[in-house]
Amino acid sequence: MYVFVDEIYNETIIFWLEFDNHLHMSGHPKFKHFSQKYCPIFIDQMLKSLRLSQQDMVALLLMQREYLKSPSNKFIVDFRDNVQFCLKTVFKVISPEPYLNEAISMIGDHPDDYSTTELWLFVVPSMISDSYFPSNLTKIFEIILTFSPDACCLLIKTSCEFLKYFIDHFYISANNANTPEISVDSIYKWLAQVPVPASNVLSRDSYIEEDVLSAFISDCNEIEETPGQKDSTRVIYILTALSIIMESVRNVRVYMDSFFPMIEQTLDSCFEVISHFLTNEEVCEKTCDFMVSVIKLSADIHPSFEMLSAQLSKYYQESDLSCFINPLITVHDLCWFKYCRSEWKISDCKSVFDHSINFLSTHDSRDHYRLVERLMKLFRTILGCQYDDILHFMEVGPLLLVAIDGLLSEVEHTFTECYFALMEVFTHPTASFCPERPETKSIVFNLYHSHIKQIVKTCGGMLSVMNDTEISLIGMELNIVTELIQKIWKSFPDKIREDQGIRDMLLQVPNAFYPEARNLAALINNNVHEH
């Protein structure tokens, strides 16, 4: 394909790239004659060459970022871009209408033929201009909205480019009487299903710092002026795409103080979006994801951590949406050194903890596993760097009960955070940056005696649950859990007393009903300590 395009079409492309410089002669009879005779020939040639390029483009997309490292691969991308530019020039001197009608017909007649559909979706934007935005374009975008997110990667990429071009010119042509009425929300909703290619299209001409954030602030200003919540799908798309862009530069830090006002304005815009959509969990979730990226990006220019912490704590308590805990975790994770002894850190976290405990006291924690996960992550984040202070100033017992209950969670991330939270309390493997307090050991000792029985019961219940899971999933009892217990027993003869009675009770735990298994585990623990 490369040789074919390079040898046959290279000179042709160069000629038509320069053709744009001669459009001032379009009124000359010879220019008109040339255009009418040769422009259709060029269009036909380019349609054939674009079809030939599709297979290579699919391969390049599957290779993701690596494809631009090869000159031959870069050529095929540049070739397609140049073709599109040339076609824009050609359609300035000949009518695009017959080609647009053909495109609509071909796409409508062959919606399952990705090669034909992608070809015309790529070409049609070359026909659109501020002065030519035909109403029948809606037929194309309606077909795009039926595409599955799992469709061919090149088709999805070209569809995203088409929709972005469509939206840009739709807004520019909005006052034109011939501009079609469309549901822009439906477009953003579809784009939100394919956030990666959509964000690539969005970021193609944007500098990752000021340009991206400026665009977001501009979008937020439009949202603020819009009554109701009809823009929610558009906001979700924008925030999803921006979060992916920010994630792609997660190792980048901003060091210039001059950038601070932009960061502050971006975070203010995030809070404006939150205020506008506080009852919409999906929008708040996406906004918080984006805020996490912005806060990380700006960590070294010290944004107003105290103000951010207070606002996030306030919104969480007002909405009961756990997504606000995520950026709060980021704030406390980044500012531990500069503000490690600040009272506001403990105060804001305590407010979040108290509110969460009250909420979970009337709700099943299994239905709110994300809250439990995020709560435990915040707990161990602040506990890790302020261990003695947290244990001294906070009543952490209720949090330990949530963590113990979370050990039974079927959600891996929730279980893991609960496990590490308990580990942080009782073994404190991380380094603190606050002075040691003489009463800390006594506090931990009391917490241990207050909760060890519940922890042991939960572990016994876990053995019962795992044994039941083994039977329900495999269809028979293979005694996997029992065999593991026996193996552990034999592996640690010096640490586990060879007591047949205790061993027999331990082997009964997996086969017992859940409540009985919990009590058996507690009884075993008592017997072990008595010996």
pLDDT band at 309 (very low <50, low <70, confident <90, very high): very high
Contact 139, 108 (CB under 8 A): yes
Place of tokens 């691969």: 73
Q: Is 181 part of any domain? A: no
Burial of 377 (0-12, 13-18, 19+ CB in 10 A): buried
Mean pLDDT computed over 429-437: 76
pLDDT band at 361 (very low <50, low <70, confident <90, very high): very high
What is the extent of the structural domain holding 478?
452-530
In sequence order, what are the residues at sequence separation of 6 or more whose Cβ sits closer than 8 angstroms to the Cβ of residue 121? 107, 140, 144, 155, 158, 159, 162
Contact 334, 305 (CB under 8 A): yes
- Inform me whether the pLDDT recorded for 260 exceeds 50: yes
CA–CA dist 171, 188 (Å, integer): 14
When the pLDDT of each residue in the chain is averaged and rounded to a whole number, the result is: 75
Q: Is 217 part of any domain? A: no
CA–CA dist 151, 156 (Å, integer): 7
* Per-residue model confidence (pLDDT) at position 195: 73
pLDDT band at 265 (very low <50, low <70, confident <90, very high): confident
- Inform me whether the pLDDT recorded for 210 exceeds 60: no
Q: CB atoms < 10 A from the CB of 418, how many?
A: 28
| 2-16, 37-51, 417-431: least confidently modelled range | 2-16
* Per-residue model confidence (pLDDT) at position 507: 57
CA–CA dist 459, 517 (Å, integer): 9
Q: Is 517 part of any domain? A: yes
Q: Is 477 part of any domain? A: yes
Q: Is 520 part of any domain? A: yes
Q: Is 176 part of any domain? A: no
201/194: higher pLDDT: 194
Mean pLDDT computed over 380-409: 89
Burial of 365 (0-12, 13-18, 19+ CB in 10 A): buried
Contact 124, 169 (CB under 8 A): no
* Per-residue model confidence (pLDDT) at position 93: 80
% of the chain exceeding 70 in pLDDT: 60
* Per-residue model confidence (pLDDT) at position 349: 93
In sequence order, what are the residues at sequence separation of 6 or more whose Cβ sits closer than 8 angstroms to the Cβ of residue 126? 84, 87, 88, 90, 91, 96
- Inform me whether the pLDDT recorded for 460 exceeds 70: no
Q: Is 363 part of any domain? A: no
Q: For the chain, how many structural domains are there in total? A: 1
* Per-residue model confidence (pLDDT) at position 362: 94
pLDDT band at 223 (very low <50, low <70, confident <90, very high): low
* Per-residue model confidence (pLDDT) at position 371: 97
CA–CA dist 21, 11 (Å, integer): 16
Cα Rg, the chain, nearest whole Å: 31
Mean pLDDT computed over 254-275: 77
- Inform me whether the pLDDT recorded for 242 exceeds 90: no
Mean pLDDT computed over 268-283: 88
pTM of the model: 0.61
CA–CA dist 119, 137 (Å, integer): 16
DSSP class of residue 24? Answer: G
Q: Is 27 part of any domain? A: no
- Inform me whether the pLDDT recorded for 355 exceeds 60: yes
Entry field: residues in the chain? 531
Mean pLDDT computed over 522-530: 54
Place of tokens 């796409």: 107
- Inform me whether the pLDDT recorded for 524 exceeds 60: no
pLDDT band at 208 (very low <50, low <70, confident <90, very high): very low
- Inform me whether the pLDDT recorded for 154 exceeds 50: yes
Question: How far, in Å, are 63, 145, 289 from residue 246 at the CA level?
Answer: 21, 27, 10
Contact 389, 332 (CB under 8 A): no
- Could you give the angle at the alpha carbon of 154 between the alpha carbons of 92 and 131, nearest 5°? 20
CA–CA dist 112, 97 (Å, integer): 24
